[in-house]
């Protein structure tokens, strides 16, 4: 059986693009002829600020996206050189009434982004500031910093931090919606490591937001952060490396006829995982064997001896497997899949859910449907079923009312990542139809009474209650009205101004 390494195939966490914009139906006639407006010398942009327009390479770079399905469209792009220039853009958009989106890593796929048309890209990808304070054990980054750019500097200084499982999203972008990953059992969500941010608000002014500065907004940005302003830097708590930074990785490869056996083993033995263990199961099309394959990728933060003891039930299946020791900074890139998965400008359609329990029945039913789809639709064979089993000890240890994040009781996530060739409308229709079916089916065995999904994974057609949580929405709506009364930041899973 052909073998695959999986630790970077988990790039389905590549899902958040900070998005801000004037809402659809905003009063006033928008001026979409932005070129004279943005190039007028009266703007007095800083020397490091660049403005670009369609058909230029700079414009293409400033509007590039991970998925091109239902994309936002732009008539201009700006790369601001200073926080003052960001404030100018915000105030100009408010006055002249044109929409804008803030771009970090460009990985957003919310359906609401497709409603953004003919606007301005506020591209922060050049804000690649990174500083490690070894004494304070903190990391400060700008919005242009991706996960790929923090791994080596942190590791070389003897530290690590909880991150997602792919290298290409903006670290700040992921943080604002929560930030899940393999280390959340030990250290919580990525946003739980956050200590403070600098933000340009809807009034164009810069503020520091932390537990002691604008504490009400500090509550809101951790879980709904794309709704209030433009983050220009963020400071995080980091942790000294354990086990010299070595991580044990084991991949198990099974044919479809053994899927039920594997899912039963997971439910029976790992429904309450140790804090330093994580698994991602992936259903994929194996192009070498021209068949569907189930892969279980396990990561253990500790010694190999400990890992093999913890993973004894998995090894006892006697499935085809591979194991290795990987340094933390190479964990994401070691499989060779990260570069492929992070390729931009691909048609993708994703359907996701939280899971509070691990259900072998639910996993098997979903896997069989994906298996049939992959056989029936050759144009969709880059599609993957991803089931993430993550411990949540450190996540639930944080008081629920301390942040806007609503789903601290989850233990994992299910995501179907449909992919097809551009122009293949038949496969696109089949993908979206099956995606709806699978989401409803998985919801029935997720442990939740509704189709709950945390904001970074939300498709955008879910109810706002199933994204932000009904109990969190009244307070979030009050914050929205206070800090963004003109509703400037309104295209990435937007919050209401009122909620009862």
Separation between Cα atoms, residue 179 and residue 244, nearest integer Å: 24
The whole-angstrom distance between residue 211's C-alpha and the CA centroid of its chain comes to: 24
**Percent composition of the chain: helix, strand, coil (DSSP 3-state, to 5):** 35, 25, 40
Mean pLDDT over 55-67 rounds to 85
Pairing between β-strand 119-123 and β-strand 100-103 as defined by DSSP bridges: parallel
Q: Do the Cβ atoms of 456 and 178 come closer than 8 Å?
A: yes
| Per-chain mean pLDDT for the chain | 90
Query: Between 3.50.50.60, 3.30.230.70, 3.30.465.10, 1.10.12.10, what CATH number should domain 130-241 receive?
Result: 3.30.465.10
The pLDDT of residue 110 is above 70: no
How high is the pLDDT of residue 337? 59
How high is the pLDDT of residue 104? 74
Q: What is the CB neighbour count within 10 angstroms for residue 68?
A: 13
pLDDT digits (tens, 9 = 90+) for 9-51: 333 334 333 333 444 434 334 446 899 999 999 999 999 999 9
How high is the pLDDT of residue 422? 86
Whole-number Cα distances in Å, 242 to 45, 186, 330, 389, 433: 46, 12, 15, 22, 45
Mean pLDDT over 166-186 rounds to 94
> Taking Cα atoms as reference points, which of 466, 403, 475, 386 lies closest to residue 188?
403
343 vs 170 pLDDT, higher one: 170
Question: pLDDT-based confidence at 252, cuts 50/70/90?
Answer: very high
Dihedral sign for Cα 66, 72, 76, 81, please.
negative
Whole-number Cα distances in Å, 404 to 171, 182, 221, 278: 19, 22, 7, 25
Enumerate the β-bridge partners of residue 160. 239
How high is the pLDDT of residue 334? 82
What percent of the chain stands above pLDDT 90? 80
pLDDT digits (tens, 9 = 90+) for 120-129: 999 999 999 9
CATH number, domain 245-457? 3.40.462.20
Mean pLDDT over 287-316 rounds to 97
φ and ψ at residue 5, rounded to 5 degrees: -100, 145
Three-state SS for 303-353 is CHHHHHHHCHHHHCCCCEEEEEEEEHHHCCCCCCCHHHHCCCCECEEEEEE
> Taking Cα atoms as reference points, which of 13, 11, 2 lies closest to residue 454?
13
Mean pLDDT over 194-216 rounds to 98
62 vs 50 pLDDT, higher one: 50
pLDDT digits (tens, 9 = 90+) for 92-109: 999 999 999 988 766 566
How high is the pLDDT of residue 94? 94
How high is the pLDDT of residue 377? 97
Q: Do the Cβ atoms of 415 and 15 come closer than 8 Å?
A: no
The pLDDT of residue 276 is above 50: yes
The pLDDT of residue 299 is above 50: yes
pLDDT digits (tens, 9 = 90+) for 460-488: 999 999 999 999 999 999 999 999 999 99
The pLDDT of residue 285 is above 60: yes
Question: pLDDT-based confidence at 72, cuts 50/70/90?
Answer: confident
Contacts of 215 (CB under 8 A, 6+ apart): none
The pLDDT of residue 352 is above 60: yes
Going from N- to C-terminal start, the domains of the chain cover 130-241, 245-457
How high is the pLDDT of residue 272? 96
What is the reported pTM?
0.92
How high is the pLDDT of residue 39? 96
Mean pLDDT over 365-393 rounds to 97
How high is the pLDDT of residue 1? 37
The two structure tokens encoding residue 253: 């490869």
CA atoms within 13 A on the CB side of 25: 0
């Amino acid at each position: 059986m052909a073998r695959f390494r999986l630790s970077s195939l988990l790039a389905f966490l590549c899902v958040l693009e900070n998005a801000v914009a004037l809402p659809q139906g905003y009063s006033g006639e928008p001026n979409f002829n932005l070129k004279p407006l943005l190039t007028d010398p009266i703007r007095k942009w800083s020397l490091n600020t660049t403005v670009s327009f369609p058909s230029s390479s700079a414009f293409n770079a400033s509007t590039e996206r991970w998925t091109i399905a239902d994309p936002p469209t732009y008539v201009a792009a700006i790369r601001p050189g200073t926080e003052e220039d960001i404030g100018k853009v915000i105030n100009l958009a408010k006055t002249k009434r044109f929409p804008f989106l803030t771009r970090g890593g460009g990985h957003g796929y919310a359906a609401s982004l497709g409603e953004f048309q003919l606007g301005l890209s506020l591209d922060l990808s050049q804000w690649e500031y990174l500083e490690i304070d070894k004494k304070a054990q903190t990391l400060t980054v700008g919005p242009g910093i991706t996960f790929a750019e923090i791994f080596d500097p942190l590791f070389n200084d003897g530290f690590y931090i909880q991150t997602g499982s792919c290298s290409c999203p903006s670290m700040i972008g992921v943080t604002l919606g929560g930030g899940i990953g393999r280390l959340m059992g030990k250290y919580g969500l990525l946003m739980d490591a956050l200590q403070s941010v600098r933000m340009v608000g809807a009034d164009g002014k810069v503020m520091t937001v932390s537990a002691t500065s604008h504490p009400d907004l500090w509550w809101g940005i951790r879980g709904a952060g794309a709704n209030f302003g433009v983050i220009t830097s963020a400071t995080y708590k980091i942790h000294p490396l354990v086990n010299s930074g070595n991580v044990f990785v084991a991949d198990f490869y099974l044919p479809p006829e053994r899927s039920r056996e594997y899912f039963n083993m997971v439910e029976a033995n790992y429904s309450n995982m140790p804090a330093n263990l994580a698994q991602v199961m992936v259903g994929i099309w194996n192009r070498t064997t021209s068949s569907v394959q189930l892969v279980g990728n396990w990561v253990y933060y500790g010694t190999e001896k400990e890992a093999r003891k913890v993973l004894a039930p998995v090894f006892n299946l006697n499935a085809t497997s591979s194991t290795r020791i990987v340094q933390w900074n190479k964990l994401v890139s070691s499989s060779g899949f990260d570069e492929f998965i992070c390729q931009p400008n691909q048609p993708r359609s994703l359907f996701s859910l939280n899971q509070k329990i691990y259900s072998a029945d639910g996993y098997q039913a979903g896997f069989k449907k994906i298996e049939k789809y992959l056989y029936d639709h050759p144009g969709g064979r880059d599609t993957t079923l991803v089931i993430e089993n993550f411990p949540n000890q450190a996540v639930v240890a944080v008081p629920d009312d301390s942040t806007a994040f609503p789903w601290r009781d989850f233990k994992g996530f299910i995501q179907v990542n449909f992919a097809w060739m551009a122009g293949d409308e038949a496969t696109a229709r089949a993908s979206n139809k099956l995606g709806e079916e699978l989401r409803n089916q998985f919801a029935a065995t997720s442990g939740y009474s509704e189709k709950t999904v945390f904001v970074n994974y939300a498709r955008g057609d879910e109810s706002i209650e199933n994204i932000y949580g009904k109990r969190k929405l009244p307070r979030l709506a009050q914050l929205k009205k206070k800090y963004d009364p003109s509703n400037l930041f309104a295209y990435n899973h937007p919050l209401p101004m009122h909620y009862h």
